[in-house]
Every structure is written in C-alpha cells, then in structure tokens.
Structure 1
Amino acid sequence: MHVVVRALAVLNHLSSYRQGLTLQQLHQQLEIPVGSMHRLMSTLEHEDFVSRSPTTKRYVLGANALKLGHSDDYEPFLIQPPAALMEAERRCGESVILTQLIDGRVVAVSIAGTKRPLRLFVRLGQEVPLHAAASARAILAYQDPALAEALLSSFPRPSFTAGTVRELNRIIDHLALIRERGFDVCDNELDEGVWAVAAPVYSGPAGRVSTAVTVCAAWSRVTTAAERAAAARVVLDAAQRISREQGYDKPFTADPSEAELTDLFAGDADVIGLPGLDASWARRAPNTRAKS
C-alpha cells in the first residue's frame, strides 16, 4: 500500500507541472529516496503512466494517466465558423478548419466545409494528433518549448501514412522552423492524398497562441507552387484577421507576400524538414506588409 500511495503522490504532483520534473526534483519535492523513486518511475513509465523526455530528462504524465478523468466531449467548445473562416473558404474553395488547444489536446472546434471531394482525418469536435497535423504543430510551435516537448512526449506518435514523422527531435526542430516562417505544411502525413497549410492565431496584446487556421485540399488540386502559395496566403490572412479580432495589435513579423510564398514552394520537398522551403525571407528587412 505504501508503494501505491507513493505512485499516486507522484502522479498527482506531476499533474501540476505540465512542463515536467526531473527525477532529482521529484525526489526532493516528494521526499522519496532516490533509489525508490527510480524504481517507481521505471514502473510507471513501463505502464505508460509517465513519459520521460529524451532531451530534458523530465517526467510528465503519460497517455494512460491522461486518460483518467478525461472527457472527449468537446461540445461546449464548438463554434459556428467565424466570418474569417467563411471568407477563406470562399477564396480558396477548400475546407478551412479552426483548431484549439484544450487541456493539452488540439481539437477541431469549427469547420467551414466545401462540396469538393476530400477524405479527411479531421472532423468537427475531433482531436488531431500533435505530431502529424499542421493545425496542431502551428499551435505547439508557439508554446513554451518545455511544454511543447512534454505534450509531444505524453501521447503516442503513430504512423498514419508512410510520410508521418514520429521522431521527437525532428518534430521539435521543425517547430522552430514554423516560428521562423509563420506557418506549417502537412503533405501526406496524416491523410493520404491530402495537403494542408496552417497558421497560428495570436490572442490579446501579448500574442498568446492557442488556436490555428488550416486549409486542407486534395493533393491533386495544389500541385503547383502558385496554388500552394495562394492557399498559404489565404490561411495567413484568415489567421491575421481573427488575431486582430482577438485584440492582437502588433505587426505580423512572419508575413510573406504571395510572390515570396511562390518562391518558397517552388522548392517544396520533405514535409517535416522542408529543406526546399528556405526561410531566409524571415531574416530580410523589416516587414512592410503588416496589417493594421
């Protein structure tokens, strides 16, 4: 019973530290001997009640612990598509999705649909995988790095297609690229034959990010650099409009023109690393296209 009490104390304590704690920190804060703590954490990790980051060495709650008491009823969070989503759908003729970070999960809370054929993994009120969806990565990229890594470490990272990237370090490196260029791309990673581009929505003067706008299209409809650039510009415009409506009043530092985007997509290659998308435009002269 003593071991059970200790295990429950660890899980309860970790629930207050979403960025995780090291073994030494748990030992000090819970006053459990290091040897006992090590054996306890090894068992909890084996049973997927905790997960340990390979880079920070911090423990966070694992998938099985997160299931306890979790409800997947996101009905209270679902909203009618805002005007910016409807306008984006009219401009590009594709499905436009608004996702939100809710209790460590990214959920599709609004969808402006299209009659054009498209088979999507994402449905209204559904969680999207943090590692494989542009809509989720565009949000995670703007979280505290330790929190983003903790969330990615807490959930399984299954393969949905041959293009799904599962390696934690590659995904974390990719988050930095998203911040640099201001959007993310998902190319056959989550759904076969589906291409998506997502951009973060900034909220309030501080520019906190908990939502993102995504355009999803059949791969056959966005085969050229110009078509992909047009979709990316639609996403950026919609995300910026919603950001302004939510009180963000600063310039959008990552705000490429459609011509710049066309140049970027002209070299489109691997999705997660995107070596063909040179982000040097983000390091050029200060942006003059910021919306007021």
Structure 2
Amino acid sequence: MDRNTVARMNAIVLDRFGGVDELSARRIPLPEVRDDDVLIRVEFAGVASWDAVEREGHYDGAFGVASTFPYVLGWDATGTVAAVGRNVTRFDVGERVYAATVPAARGGVYAEYAVVEAEFVARVPDRMPTEQAGAMAWDALTALSGLDLLGLRPGETLMVFGASGGLGHMTVQLARHSGIRVLAVASGDDGVALARRLGADGAIDGRKDDVLAAALEFAPGGLDAVLVTAGGETAERSLRAIKSSGRIAWPNGVLPVPVTPPGATVSYYDGDRSRTATDRLNAIIEAGSFEVHIGRTFPFARVADAHRTLNGHYVGKLALKVG
C-alpha cells in the first residue's frame, strides 16, 4: 500500500470525553506503522460496554498514558493486513486477521485503518465469518483466561453469571468444549434460549428466576466455580451457591464488585491477549462449533445508535461495519 495515497482515513473520533453526542465522523491521519506493527484495514469492529465507559472518560490515565485528542475508541477488530513493520514476518498483506488492542496508546479500531502490535494480531480461522471475528477477541480471550484460572475438570460445575452477554455466551461455549457442566444465568427469554442453544446444561433468567434455588438444584453439594460477567446484587447473592472450597473468577472492569466478600476465593484478572492465547483460541474454534452471536450490526455512520443500544437489552455482541 502506498502510504502517500492513503495519508488520511475516515474515523469516529472524540474531541472530548462525554455522552453519545461527542462521537463524530472525521478524516484523520493514518496511524504510524512501527517495526513490530500490523496495519489492519478494518472491516468490522466490536462495540462493547467498556467502549461507553471509556467514552465517558473513566479510563482517562488508567493505562499509564495521557489521553490525546482526537481520540478513537474500539478494542476489537477484524479486517485484512494492509502493511507490516519491518520486524513482522508471519503476516502477509491481504490476509484476514483479528486483533485485541487498547485504544489509549495508539488509537482504537473505530476507523478505516488501525495499527496493532503483531503479538496481539491473529489469523481469522477459516470457518469463522469475518463479522463474528470482529466482535470476538477480548471477550473470548477473557473467557479463556478465566477458565484457566478456575482450572475445572470435566464434569465439574460452573455457573456463568451474565451468560447471554458477549463475554458470557463465549464462556458457555469454551467451558462446554472442556467438558464442564454449565449453569447459565442469562437475561430475558432470548438470552436463556441463546445459552441453551450454545450448549448450557441448565439456563435460567436471572431477572425473574430464583438463581440460588436453581443453582442448588443444579449442584446440590454446591457449585465448583462461578465466572461473573455482570456485577450487582443478584450476582452477589448467587455466589452463596458456591461451595466454600470453590473458586470465583471476576474479570477486572466487571462492576460493581461484591460489597460482602463471598465464602469462596475471588480472583480478579485480565484477559491474556498474547499470541499463545490466540493460538489456543483458534485451535478450539477450528476443532468445534464456536460462534460469536451478533445481536445487531450497525453501519459506521450510526455508531451513536450502537452506543445507545448498549444501554438497553440485547444478547451477544454488537458490531460496527467499518469497511
């Protein structure tokens, strides 16, 4: 690609942190491609709850770098390789890839092009649709890291709290791949239906069903583990269903955290987005029937509608069609 002919790109930018109305479309310079980088021509980007938190300024300074404007959001993307840095040998221009990035340092993926260190870029498995890959990386990798942390054996019991959300519905599938018995606590009839379709051994609606009673029926001796993808009073109460020797995986950023410490050990953690982790994830995808459920896809120009939808009820992930 001739960098001189594509010196600028379309992007969704913030000129300051705030509400949905702060999002605006504009042409900005392409990001600089350093020696260890991959420049991705973005086709689809994931839209997630943390995008809204970041848009409001709550991550300002959290990653050890000062926020600079115009600021581009977006942590998950898929597309094709447009260029590579001189140290990058494992990707070719034109290859289909996905990436998990952190917008704060170099800009996010709500843009026609995004630059990501090669370590955090992976090939899209042949069987995976591009749209699904665009909304997958951080949630799937966080699910995988959480299950590693819990270390469950086949046949042991896991409650996935928030099982119809992005992280939750991917956790259900990865747990079932490992032979773990899954009780899915989902949201709404559509959420329960999704969790059942994806292989949960039991699925209930956390908004109207008695989670504690259902959990004790599912695992009379107490659950072996819980992975929490949505905090709050119901989540905290449901943790009483875990045995005292059990384990709780709680991704950093899932709020609110428990007010009262539960009886079992809580491990707060971050998802691993290294090449080792994406290689493992890709092997699982190639071996089975893993899917990313896309609740809705929005045109690039309607990013504000996507952010408004984050506040309402939906299942799976939201995606933005960029390219």
Per the TM superposition, whether the score is higher than 0.5 is no
TM-score (norm 1): 0.28
Counting strand residues as a fraction of each chain, which structure ranks higher? 2
TM-score (norm 2): 0.26
- Structure number with the bigger relative contact order (C-alpha 8 A, sep ≥ 6) is 2
Counting helix residues as a fraction of each chain, which structure ranks higher? 1
